[in-house]
Amino acid sequence: MDAINTDAPRDDDALEKAFQTKVDAETRIEPKDWMPEKYRHTLIRQMSQHAHSEVVGMLPEGNWLTRAPSLKRKAVLMAKIQDEGGHGLYLYSATETLGISRDEMFDQLHTGKAKYSSIFNYPTLSWADIGAIGWLVDGAAITNQIALCRCSYGPYARAMIKICKEESFHQRQGYEIMLTMAQGTPEQKAMAQDALDRWWWPSLMMFGPNDSNSPQSAQSMKWKIKRQSNDELRQKFVDATVPQAEYLGLRIPDDNLKWNEERGHYDFGEIDWVEFKNVVSGNGLCNRERLKDRVDAHEGGKWVRDAALAYAEKQKQRSAAAAA
């Protein structure tokens, strides 16, 4: 019997080395390329979480469609919400290239197995919240997503380019609502301040746990799925947003926020990580309501999916009959 040479690299080791060399050389990984199982799983986790966030993110804004203060505001908000639905669809399609079906992803969301961004578990109590979401939530999303345009996985990186362009319009529409309110009556300015007070900290939580507490970061950075760490991106967002709040004449609700000359960045206070954990584990203010609305919408749309399938089947039979 031949002796087994345990020093010889196993095929997987050689493939994994070649894979990492490709990633290091900034060559994009495409769906049919070999990839480590864990890379595939990490992408499915992050991309499906991202897709779910876009779709669940339509709900808090949808709450204001019937109450937008003018026809123009309603039309703009409607367009933004439709964009978010489109982002969800690009991202579900990009995730399907990794070998998971859309039905499986929906099932993971609807059964609470898959996460979506913590931010969408907070309520939208006033019209100013729509401004704050565009300004802060879309602003935080772009900060994170610009880095994702250079993700090593081709379909994700390409989807992010179009998404970022649209998010940039969303951020501006939100800021413009805040500017209008901040320059309006004292009551309107107070509404804008109240929205900033409630959305500031949850927006900072969107970037995820501190780097020292982020179990996925090291491997995702090595694989160039993530290009910048959670804390680096959070700092970038704070640095960009503080002058915008100053221009609005609004106060960011953080007594520890101050410019640090030495670091060339703003210092800011500690995030309430207990609140973050509660929201991520399903116990935020709106988790149950959001999931229920999502499941109801999916079930309510079943007749549309059935009709589309029946129509496709009819077309198939007609072309088969014509070809016979």
Residues that bind ligand BYC in the complex, under the rule CB under 6 A: 45-46, 49-50, 53-54, 57, 84, 115, 117-118, 133, 137-138, 141, 144, 205-209, 214-217, 220, 226, 230, 280
| Least spacing, CB of residue 191 vs ligand BYC, in Å | 20
Nearer to ligand BYC, 108 or 193 (CB): 108
| Least spacing, CB of residue 2 vs ligand BYC, in Å | 43
Of all residues in the shown chain, the one whose CB is closest to ligand BYC is 57
Nearer to ligand BYC, 45 or 222 (CB): 45
Place of tokens 């007749």: 303
| Least spacing, CB of residue 145 vs ligand BYC, in Å | 7
Cβ atoms < 10 Å from Cβ of 221: 15
Q: How far is C-alpha 127 from the chain's CA centre?
A: 22
Provide DSSP, 207-218.
T-S-GGG-TTHH
Phi, psi of 259 (to 5 degrees): -70, 135
- Distances in Å between the Cα of 136 and the Cα atoms of 72, 119, 196, 199 are 21, 11, 8, 7
Distance CA 60, CA 81 (A): 10
Nearer to ligand BYC, 190 or 297 (CB): 297
Ranges assigned E (strand) in 53-131: none
| Least spacing, CB of residue 10 vs ligand BYC, in Å | 28
Nearer to ligand BYC, 54 or 96 (CB): 54
Nearer to ligand BYC, 118 or 241 (CB): 118
| Least spacing, CB of residue 322 vs ligand BYC, in Å | 44
Pair type for strands 265-267 and 258-260:
antiparallel
